[in-house]
Structure 1
Amino acid sequence: MTTLEKVEAGTELPPLELPPITRTTLALFAGASGDHNPIHIDVDVAKSVGLDDVFAHGMLSMAYLGRLLTNWVLQEQIRTYRVRFAAITPVHARPTCTGRVVSVEDGLATLELAVTLADGTVILTGDAVVAVN
């Protein structure tokens, strides 16, 4: 957790760098989330729709971004959390979650959030409002 008394516009959250997304990651997330869509775990299905390989669940990236937030503030301080899925996350990609405070007003910080791959591809964007005092 962070000391929130010094939060101001421009404050950067410590980035969350994740290990590569593996087939095991996808299988485990499918079981945990109940999302067994074969596009995420079956190479033949992925190829049948013109893809080279399976790709990660969008909600996995959203969960990682949620972890970025809860590494920074307590869960009960999160007032809103929204995302937009921008691109797929290929298997073996290494996502990095980032966040930046864009404003602080009346004890609430508004954050700009993103998940980016090593090649610069932004796979998820979002925002959150958290209580800072």
Structure 2
Amino acid sequence: MTRAPIVLTTGQELESREIGPITQTDIVRFAGAGGDFNPLHHDAGYARRAGLPDVIAMGQMQAGMLAAWVTDLVHVENLVTYSVRFASPLAIGDRLVLTGRVDDVDPTDHTAALTLEAKVDDRVVISGKARVRTASESAA
């Protein structure tokens, strides 16, 4: 079943979501699901020898959290494009706050451009862009 696009307006702030605190179990479960067994993600001694204070989550974990959040809001079948930029590591104990904004709504193709961020306090962990299908206000 395809869900209808939602109405989005230029300048609209998306409903934020908080995730965390991130646990070692979260990281290990994601490693198992994705097959990423780099020791930076599960071996504290290895991570410290590499110059990190402790293990860090894999970037794809934050990218997946950000994608899941935005598709919960707009429905996955309305996601047209999605890209991310990794900005800083996510550590055990961190709390992510996911936010987004509608930058532009194109009435000709019924899509909206979104800017997305995942932050820990004031530090950006990952930023992203998405284009999603949107309904016109007259259809709402």
Q: 1:115 to 1:19 in 2, by over 3 A?
A: same
Aligned residues: 131
Cα distance between partner residues in 2 of 1:42 and 1:56: 11
The answer to whether the 8 Å contact 1:12/1:101 transfers is: yes
Letter in 2 for 1:62: A
Find the counterpart in structure 1 of residue 114 from structure 2. 111
Match of 1:128 in 2: 130
C-alpha separation in 2, matches of 1:113 and 1:122: 10
**What is the aligned-residue RMSD (CA, Å)?**
1.5
Larger Rg: 2
- Runs of at least 5 residues in structure 2 that lack an aligned partner in the other structure: 136-140
Return the letter of the residue paired with 2:114.
Answer: L
For 1:79 and 1:72, the matched residues in 2 are separated by 14
- TM-score by length of structure 2 reads 0.88
Q: Secondary structure at the match of 2:51?
A: coil
User: Unpaired segments of 5 or more residues in structure 1?
Assistant: none
Partner of 1:42: 43
For residues 73-97 of structure 1, the C-alpha deviation after alignment (integer angstroms, 9 at most, x for no partner) is 1111100000000111121100111
Identity between Structure 1 and Structure 2 (%): 37
Between the aligned partners of 2:76 and 2:5, the Cα distance in structure 1 is: 15
